[in-house]
Amino acid sequence: MPASPHHQSRVLASPWEGVYGTHIDSARHYGRHSHAVYGVGLLEHGAQKSASGRGQVEAYAGDILMCNPGEVHDGQPLGGPSRRWRMVYLEPAAMAAAMNAPGATSELELTHAVAQDARLRLALQRLLGQLQQWSDGGRSPGAEALACEESLARVCGLLLGRHAVSTARSAESSNAITPQIRQVRDRLAAGLLAPPTLGEMALMAGLSRFQLLRHFEKAFGVTPHAWLQQQRAERARGLIRSGASLAAAAASSGYADQSHMTRLFARQFGFTPGAWLQATSRRVQSRLQ
């Protein structure tokens, strides 16, 4: 059996529930997937090519990486065996709060998958360094949290001024999803523990199985099964953050067992549920200090 590709990852806690960081050094080829969060970070070493919401892109050491919630992407090394990157992820509510627009009806859209921006790179390096220090548990968590907040505000300000637009969800994007396919997606979302069969979904949409696959993938970038697995992983992530045990999160998210969750969770996020539990526990502990 061939050896598994090199992969090392770390999750960085933050002072806020909807924000976390990662530090990943990996030779893995990631398949098409999406996340429910914004992502912005740095490619520190090596290079990679990936699909994005704006087509195929290439990134090199020093480049800024960005991704919107729901944006389907993949990734693999380019010109070498592996690459190393650090990211900050923000849930939409956390991004709106950082932009001083909590509860806003418009959505922020990051306009580049890859960018070169020296000021943003420096701001990200500072934020990531402070998140790592906070995650490691310093002697003054309150002061460190303030430093993180200032750096996050600086990063978000640079994003909004240079690499993002504030816009309502476009009618064009909404119209690309037919009511039948939206109904299928909603049925899948409601049935994470007991999903419908492909035949049942095809009947619901009034399509053949093949037509359903084609239309669903066109609308959401992945097949119904892949979309279901992403939603299960996101649900497990939320449950663990809220204090559920790994075993309980696995059972409540539709996984056969904890090891099944660990395998698919790591494939989705690049880190294990145990690493996520450790990072979220750090945030809870800081509130008690």
pLDDT (tens digit, 9 = 90+) per residue, 95-133? 888 876 555 545 789 999 999 999 999 999 999 999 998
Cα–Cα distance for residue pair 76/148, rounded to 1 Å: 31
Q: Is residue 236 exposed (0-12), middle (13-18) or buried (19+ Cβ within 10 Å)? A: buried
Tell me the CATH number for domain 7-167.
Answer: 2.60.120.10
Q: At residue 122, what is the residue type?
A: L
Residue 130 CB: number of other CB atoms within 10 A?
24
> Which range is least confidently modeled, 27-31, 133-137, 234-238, 273-277?
133-137
SS3 236: helix
- In this model, does residue 156 exceed pLDDT 70? yes
Segment 229-248 mean pLDDT? 96
| Residue with token string 């539709």 | 254
Residue 281 pLDDT exceeds 90? no
For residue 224, the SS3 value is helix
C-alpha pair distances (Å), 230 with each of 58, 84, 120, 227, 283: 24, 23, 30, 5, 25
Residues of the chain with CATH 2.60.120.10: 7-167
Task: Report how far apart, in Å, the C-alpha atoms of 276 and of each of 80, 124, 218, 253, 282 are.
Answer: 29, 21, 32, 16, 10
The pLDDT score that the predictor gives to residue 282 is 73
Please tell me whether residue 87 adopts helix, strand or coil conformation. strand
Of 184, 209, 211, 214, the closest CA to residue 198 belongs to 209
Largest CA distance in the chain: 61
Type of residue numbered 74 = D
Residue 108 confidence (pLDDT): 84
Each residue of 178-236: pLDDT tens digit? 999 999 999 999 999 999 999 999 999 999 999 999 999 999 999 999 999 999 999 99
Q: Looking at domain 174-288, which CATH architecture does it have?
A: Orthogonal Bundle (1.10)
The confidence score (pLDDT) of residue 44 equals: 97
CA neighbor of 17 nearest in space, from 231, 282, 272, 253: 282
- Where exactly does CATH 1.10.10.60 map onto the chain? 174-288
Q: Is residue 139's pLDDT more than 80?
A: no
Alpha-carbon distances, residue 69 vs 26, 53, 102, 246 (angstroms): 22, 11, 17, 25
| 152 vs 166 pLDDT, higher one | 152
Mean pLDDT across the chain, nearest whole number?
Answer: 89
In this predicted structure, what is the pLDDT of residue 170? 43
Alpha-carbon distances of 12 from 71, 215, 266, 275, rounded to whole Å:
23, 38, 15, 9
Predicted TM-score (pTM) of this structure: 0.87
What pairs with residue 52 in β-bridges? 55
In the structure encoding, which two tokens stand for residue 108, read together?
Answer: 């922020």
pLDDT single digits (tens) 260-272: 999 999 999 999 9
What is the dihedral sign for C-alpha 66, 67, 72, 77?
A: positive
Spatial separation of the C-alpha atoms in residues 141 and 147, rounded to whole Å? 10
Residues 6 or more apart in contact with residue 190 via CB below 8 angstroms: none
Mean pLDDT of 59-67: 97
Q: What is the DSSP letter of 40?
A: E
